[in-house]
């Protein structure tokens, strides 16, 4: 596995860990998940996680020589 893929996976796991910790402490409220208020722990979570996941999928396709 390339270093770049490992870094992406590591960052995604870190984001998931932070989300899980938040959920355990505060419970899950759908409004929090979509809250993009500056300073909120989950601000930009969805966007950042989606960008990382997309990069990871693109790298996998590149590695296999396939296309989306």
In the prediction, which pLDDT does 1 show? 61
Model pTM score: 0.78
Q: Quick check: 58 and 8 in contact, CB under 8 A?
A: no
Q: Quick check: 56 and 9 in contact, CB under 8 A?
A: yes
Q: Structural domain tally of the chain?
A: 1
Closest listed residue to residue 17, CA positions, set 50, 55, 57, 49: 49
Place of tokens 């396709």: 61
Which structural domain, as residue segments, surrounds residue 41? 3-64
**Per-residue confidence in pLDDT tens, the chain, 68 aa:** 668 999 999 999 999 998 899 899 988 888 877 877 888 777 788 889 999 999 999 998 988 888 77
């Amino acid at each position: 596995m390339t270093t770049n893929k490992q870094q992406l996976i590591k960052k995604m796991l870190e984001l998931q860990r932070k989300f899980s910790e938040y959920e355990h402490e505060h419970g899950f409220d759908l409004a929090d998940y979509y809250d993009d208020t500056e300073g909120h722990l989950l601000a930009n979570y969805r966007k950042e996680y989606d960008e990382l996941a997309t990069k990871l999928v693109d790298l996998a396709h590149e590695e296999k020589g396939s296309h989306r």
